[in-house]
Structure 1
Amino acid sequence: MHLVLVGLSHKTAPIEMREKLTFPAARQAEALSLLTGDAAIAEAVILSTCNRTEVYALSSDVDRGVDAVLGFLADYHDLDRHDLVRYLYIVKGEAVVRHLFRVVSSLDSMVIGEAQILGQVKEAYEHAFENGATGRAFNRLFRQSFEVGKRVRTETAIGENAVSISYAAVELAKKVFDSLEGRTVLIIGAGKMSELTAKHLVCNGAVDVLVANRTYERAVELAERFSGRAIEYGSLFERMHDADIVISSTAAQDFVVRKPDVAEVMKGRRGRPLFFIDIAVPRDIDPAVNDLSDVYVYDIDDLNGVVESNLEERMREAERAEAIIEEEISEFLRWQESLEVVPTVAAIRAKAEAIRQAELERALKRLGGLSEKELATIDALTCAIVNKMLHGPTARLKAAAEEADGYLVVEAARELYGLDEAEGGRGPGLLRTLLNRKAREMHDTHAANETGDGLGC
């Protein structure tokens, strides 16, 4: 069997192209049916996210498999194939396993260590599985990939450090306050970054959100997203007295928060700290505010410093993740090699010998009192029967394995002899998948003949 991957991502294609190559969940069944309807594709999984679209395929021939996937992508989305190829990467064989394991471990993500991709790959696999597009190979490969993702998350700290400005703000806030539970957030300005930062603070325990904006209607709109309250811009410093965390991101060209204003706010707070996150450029908050007791001001450079430090830490953890991936690749390749003809023939003979020995032992107990010569004769007889029964099938199995699609015959033999029953899995075996596909092809041919014009069309 040959593993093939054709895809594009944020590394190879602009968003304009990525938007053209998406596969929404509602269209996955249709797309998978068309893809696996090609004789060159035995199994397939389509992964489609905002940052990547990848088609994983199992094919009897590498070149035919790649060509089939390229044609499918171009035809399905009505794109010029030659233009599309400029943005695609093509991966084959063992490299497909490595790529998938790195994807689920978020080592290939725009933000290394993000947790969302593992769930997205699981969803893609479930779509393929439920629509009969996977068999033994992809059931094993993708289920093992999920274990790889779990190992990387639990055995490394790759996802534990903030690597975005908004997350960095939360991390710094946690250093000021023992806990963010029950804290009040005041947002100055209704920009996207302020909203995102506030969202992360709320997710970490902040309960009350106040929004001040020069355009009051925009303040109301943003406050509603957090079940918060809009306040009049003129009462900003009066209401700041109630806040624990202030996020400021306006388009002002001069400071909107100055030291005397905050000094007045701090009166009567009895040492209760006030934390400012200034994510505006130019800055909204006068740096001199930081000189006040129990006041902490962090600007965009401070936040970027946290992000860069955490990125370095994640990169160190990524090295540990790569080592885990290499271990898992070796395990998958060992399983894959078990599908080759020599191990399969050996497994068939081992199973037959185990059965022969068990039945011989049972028979000899019933017979009893046999001489050494008689025992040797019976043993030789049963060996001869087993060898003669297996000689033809194993010889033909070895011959068939030399063909381009020989792995299909090997897989069929393993299924018929029950060699992989311990693997389990809800999905249909490859043999059953192929038989179902053949039945569909015969049905389609019959339907085409029924609708012909009687002239052999």
Structure 2
Amino acid sequence: MSLVILGLSHHTAPLPLLEAMSLDPSRRADLESRLTARENVAEAIVVSTCNRTEVYAESLTFHGAVSDITEALTEATGVDNAQLREHLYVHYEDRAIAHAFTVACGLDSMAVGEAQILGQMRTALRDAQRTGHAGPALNALFQQALRVGKRAHTETGIDAVSVSLVEAGIARAEAHLGSLEDLSVLVVGAGGMSSLAATTMTRRGVGSLTVVNRTLSKAQRLAERTGGTARPLAELADALAAADVVVSCTGSTGVVVDLATAADAQVARAGRPQAYVDLALPHDVAPEVASLRGVVLAGLSALGDDLSAGQASAQVQEVADLVIGEVAAYLTSRAAESVAPTVAALRRHAADVVAGELGRLEQRLPQLDEATRAEVQLAVHRIVEKLLHTPTVRVKELAVGGHGDDYAQALRELFDLRPGQTATASVPPSQGGMP
């Protein structure tokens, strides 16, 4: 069994392809079901964000799993297989572990160091646990990745680097409109990114904030937290006309603001300048809106370009060093776990032999006093511990070097051991939102 990661991100694929590959929770679950039903994939977790769509899989065979995952992605998204293969990347075993930890730390994100990916990975794990698509291997990987990501934000200076997509969008809006103070801002959507946008805008001291969402109750809750006003989606046209800045991130599969609606808003505004910040994938705002007089539109591609120019190398290197150390520790731990059943079986075998011999001694020398019997038992146990110490330590050392399986097999053959199969999976504790 081996870990395989196959996917594409903003590093390897153009934005239109990322949009086509974007999967909502139900489609992620469907893809995971397709994968685990195939003979080469034992476990699967799909992570799909505005930056990436990736499949994390515990595979029975490497090449078979890569083929199965590629075919399943094609079936799930409708993207042509040849086009998909052109932009896919594959990570295997050590490199896959390093990639998972790097993603969790935000080093592979458009906004380097952003923490939102932690919540997205945690959600993907919990969804896969609930559906039974994640097993012991991916549970262990994701839980450790989440711990590493949290360490990156609590123990390094990466948060000083993580200028978010929202901040980049604000910079674009201010370049077009000037300071946001006293301006009217409209947030379309009420999810995690929209909440971040609303909170950031309020902190910037905007004149007014309006939240529009398909479910009015969610818009009301966000508006209450940020001192704004909530309106239903049916009033979007009027809200657009009143807004100097529009930030949209709804998770919709279709365009939310089309050219005609944006043009009507401009007519109602008598041509006053307006800025759109589209944080959605697929995009919420029709690209043609950028052609309107007085309107600027900043989408994920442009914001990603803005952010890539502002990375701080010292903080990034600090997290990269953390990842290297964590990968080494994880590989060591996993190697030791791979031979643990054999070590446990060897110790059980030794304990059974000791118990049998001490029982026979009891029958042959019933007259032994308690003190002597205790000394004999202690001496026997010490002998066994000394005999087992070297093979126990050595098998763990060899496992780290990649030779543990051969040595463990030799122990099983020499001592006729039958270690039982162990497999555990647990849900990480709730963190109450983003770390």
**Above 0.5 in TM-score?**
yes
Distance of aligned partners of 1:360 and 1:137 in 2 relative to their CA distance in 1, 3 Å threshold: farther
Q: Following the alignment from structure 1 to structure 2, what is the Cα–Cα distance between the partners of residues 81 and 223?
A: 39
What aligned pairs does 1:121-200 form with structure 2 within 5 A after superposition? 121-161=121-161, 163=163, 167=167, 185-187=181-183, 199=198
Provide the TM-score with structure 2 as the length reference.
0.57
Partner of 2:90 in structure 1? 90
RMSD: 5.0
SS in 2 for 1:125: helix
Distance of aligned partners of 1:169 and 1:124 in 2 relative to their CA distance in 1, 3 Å threshold: closer
Partner of 2:242 in structure 1? 220
Partner of 2:325 in structure 1? 327
> Do the aligned partners of 1:190 and 1:249 also contact (CA within 8 Å) in 2?
no
One-letter identity of the residue aligned with 2:328: S
Partner of 1:299 in structure 2? none
Q: Deviations over 1:270-306 (max 9, x none)?
A: xxxxxxxxxxxxxxxxxxxxxxxxxxxxxxxxxx9xx
Q: Percent identity?
A: 29
Q: Following the alignment from structure 1 to structure 2, what is the Cα–Cα distance between the partners of residues 100 and 65?
A: 18
Q: Deviations over 1:95-147 (max 9, x none)?
A: 00000100010000011011111111111111111111122111111100000
Q: Following the alignment from structure 1 to structure 2, what is the Cα–Cα distance between the partners of residues 165 and 24?
A: 20
Q: Following the alignment from structure 1 to structure 2, what is the Cα–Cα distance between the partners of residues 217 and 119?
A: 30
SS in 1 for 2:183: strand
CA apart distance, 1:336: 2.1
Q: Following the alignment from structure 2 to structure 1, what is the Cα–Cα distance between the partners of residues 196 and 349?
A: 65
Partner of 2:112 in structure 1? 112
Partner of 1:204 in structure 2? 203
Distance of aligned partners of 1:189 and 1:136 in 2 relative to their CA distance in 1, 3 Å threshold: closer
Q: Following the alignment from structure 2 to structure 1, what is the Cα–Cα distance between the partners of residues 96 and 207?
A: 48
The answer as to 2:346 corresponding to 1:349 is: yes
SS in 2 for 1:311: coil
The answer as to 2:8 corresponding to 1:8 is: yes
Q: Following the alignment from structure 1 to structure 2, what is the Cα–Cα distance between the partners of residues 134 and 166?
A: 32
Number of equivalenced pairs: 309
Q: Following the alignment from structure 2 to structure 1, what is the Cα–Cα distance between the partners of residues 197 and 341?
A: 59
Distance of aligned partners of 1:166 and 1:30 in 2 relative to their CA distance in 1, 3 Å threshold: closer
One-letter identity of the residue aligned with 1:220: A
Q: Following the alignment from structure 2 to structure 1, what is the Cα–Cα distance between the partners of residues 321 and 349?
A: 39
CA apart distance, 1:311: 3.2
CA apart distance, 1:153: 0.4
One-letter identity of the residue aligned with 1:349: L
CA apart distance, 1:362: 8.2
Q: Following the alignment from structure 1 to structure 2, what is the Cα–Cα distance between the partners of residues 162 and 340?
A: 37
Q: Following the alignment from structure 1 to structure 2, what is the Cα–Cα distance between the partners of residues 311 and 169?
A: 14
Distance of aligned partners of 1:24 and 1:360 in 2 relative to their CA distance in 1, 3 Å threshold: farther
CA apart distance, 1:318: 1.2
SS in 1 for 2:87: coil
Distance of aligned partners of 1:154 and 1:170 in 2 relative to their CA distance in 1, 3 Å threshold: farther
Partner of 1:442 in structure 2? none
Q: Following the alignment from structure 2 to structure 1, what is the Cα–Cα distance between the partners of residues 165 and 15?
A: 22
CA apart distance, 1:219: 5.4
> Do the aligned partners of 2:47 and 2:124 also contact (CA within 8 Å) in 1?
yes
Q: Following the alignment from structure 1 to structure 2, what is the Cα–Cα distance between the partners of residues 11 and 48?
A: 15
Distance of aligned partners of 1:321 and 1:368 in 2 relative to their CA distance in 1, 3 Å threshold: farther
Q: Following the alignment from structure 1 to structure 2, what is the Cα–Cα distance between the partners of residues 139 and 166?
A: 31
Q: Following the alignment from structure 2 to structure 1, what is the Cα–Cα distance between the partners of residues 125 and 131?
A: 10
Provide the TM-score with structure 1 as the length reference.
0.55
Distance of aligned partners of 1:201 and 1:36 in 2 relative to their CA distance in 1, 3 Å threshold: closer
> Do the aligned partners of 1:35 and 1:69 also contact (CA within 8 Å) in 2?
yes
> Do the aligned partners of 2:184 and 2:208 also contact (CA within 8 Å) in 1?
no
CA apart distance, 1:76: 2.5
- Give the greater-gyration-radius structure (CA): 1
SS in 2 for 1:122: helix
SS in 2 for 1:186: coil
Moved more, 61-70 or 26-35: 26-35
Unaligned runs of 5+ in 1: 172-183, 226-231, 235-247, 252-303, 388-400, 403-412, 428-457
Distance of aligned partners of 1:415 and 1:29 in 2 relative to their CA distance in 1, 3 Å threshold: farther
What aligned pairs does 1:41-440 form with structure 2 within 5 A after superposition? 41-161=41-161, 163=163, 167=167, 185-187=181-183, 199=198, 202-204=201-203, 206=205, 208-209=207-208, 220-221=242-243, 311-313=310-312, 315-341=313-339, 344-354=341-351, 357=354, 368-370=366-368, 416=421, 425=426
CA apart distance, 1:62: 1.1
SS in 2 for 1:3: strand
Unaligned runs of 5+ in 2: 172-179, 189-193, 211-237, 248-267, 276-302, 389-404, 407-417, 429-435
> Do the aligned partners of 1:47 and 1:53 also contact (CA within 8 Å) in 2?
yes
One-letter identity of the residue aligned with 2:48: S
CA apart distance, 1:18: 1.3
